[in-house]
Amino acid sequence: MLRLDYEHILPFVDPDQLERRLGDAREAHRLLIEKAGPGGDATGWRDLLIQPDEALLQDIEETAGRIREEADILVCIGIGGSYLGAEAVIQALSPSLGRNEGSPEILFAGHHMGGAYLQELLEYLHGKSVFVNVISKSGRTLEPAIAFRCVRKHLERHFDDAGQRIIVTTDPEKGALNTLCATNEYKKYVIPSDVGGRFSVLTPVGLLPVAVAGTDIRALFEGAAATLVRLASPKDNPALLYAAIRSLLLQQGLCIDLLSVFEPALSAFGRWWQQLFGESEGKNGTGLFPCVAQYSTDLHSIGQYVQDGKRSLMETFLMVERTGSDLTVPAGAEGEAKNLDGLDYLSGRSMEAINRAAWEGTAQAHADGGVPNMTLWMAEISPTCLGEAIYFFEHAVSISGHLLHVNPFDQPGVEAYKKAMFTRLGKP
């Protein structure tokens, strides 16, 4: 079960102001639950947890099983919410080196326009059994559309059953991919029309790639569903508290929220969080700018700025109670080299305990340096706990958007760069 520690927030906020902000958060919570606020028709990500589609989950598991049996590589093509959630879960639950036994290699494409990467990918696919999952509501988003055109050509040149190797995840009815499905009989999954991309990880958008990677998607789904039930009441609700604290600190003049993780496996989860909060809050000239740090690595890069730079940021630590690692620091050498590295005081200590001490020291030092910070604790890195964290942040950012009086479920600003880019490319 998730736990929010906000000890290092208290010196920076007035208790009465926080209590009033919590009152506002309870009203924002009501708007979310009752679908009464801006974007209320885009909260299908809650409905699918309340009324799970058992037949769909079983179908996803069966498709994933076929891919696992036949594929060396699954290429997932998509950008933004079409890949970040899947990447977050897959990275968190896969070995840091290599991949899950019995699972194909899962590669991502269509999330940037680097031609060298795409060319290298196409060359890497030669001689391997390849399946493709292309994920796009419109089928015309530039980055994934280019990647799909290239990868589709590769499949059609090298496989007689290319059409059986392409799985499309798209809008229920509209878009270019629906036309392709109709003419080529591709396997199709639907992105619910009332679920935005950044909230779609628990739809086929995320569940199919995650299942192919060997993850128990039922546990992931059930962890999120259980958290929805837990957060249904405004009382003792950590998501409300999280949203209220961030809102109050923004009101006090802070403008950056740094999500810091101490487990490398959660780095991609941080990137998913970054899109979720950036697209949901950053409107009408308001919102905290979300960014991600991997500690202790980044304590040796941006750590100096966080400690002593402009006091414009708050920090959220995402921590894990039990990592499952039993590695300890070995005893040092004997003779002349004894304790040459000065680490004998750590001999026999677990890396888990050392990492926790690093968090404790960092949280205290940053608070002393003027950075309000709080910590969200996950019990472990497991499908269930990741499902809990996914729903926690989705719920919290929805409340946060309503506190800012913006629609947390749209992203009108995303189109601005596209218009300017397409003008330069000469798009009709």
Q: How many Å apart are CA 90 and CA 38, to the nearest integer?
A: 32
Q: How many Å apart are CA 261 and CA 140, to the nearest integer?
A: 35
Reply yes or no on whether 35 is catalytic. Answer: no
DSSP helix/strand/coil, 339: coil
| Identity at 114, one-letter amino acid code | G
Query: For residues 311, 317, 397 and 305, what is the CA-based torsion angle, rounded to 10 degrees?
Result: 30
Strands (E), 206-335: 256-261, 289-294, 313-322
With a CB cutoff of 8 Å and minimum separation 6, the contacts of 87 are 108, 268, 271, 272
With beta carbons less than 8 A apart as the criterion, state whether 2 and 10 touch: no
Question: Structure tokens of 66?
Answer: 């076929």
Reply yes or no on whether 87 is catalytic. Answer: no
Q: Pick the catalytic residue: 87, 143, 263, 279? A: 279
DSSP states of 20-38 as a string? HHHHHHHHHHHHHHTT-ST
- In the block, tokens 């935005």 appear at 196
Strand 256-261 relative to strand 166-170, pairing: unpaired
Q: Which residues pair with 315 in a beta bridge?
A: 258, 373
Q: Pick the catalytic residue: 126, 235, 300, 310? A: 300
Q: How many CB atoms sit inside 10 A of residue 419's CB?
A: 9
Q: Pick the catalytic residue: 112, 128, 405, 418? A: 418
Reply yes or no on whether 128 is catalytic. Answer: no
Q: How many Å apart are CA 106 and CA 328, to the nearest integer?
A: 32
| Identity at 413, one-letter amino acid code | G
Q: How many Å apart are CA 205 and CA 134, to the nearest integer?
A: 9
Q: How many Å apart are CA 105 and CA 112, to the nearest integer?
A: 20
Question: Structure tokens of 4?
Answer: 């929010």
Q: How many Å apart are CA 337 and CA 357, to the nearest integer?
A: 27
Annotated active-site positions, please? Answer: 279, 300, 418
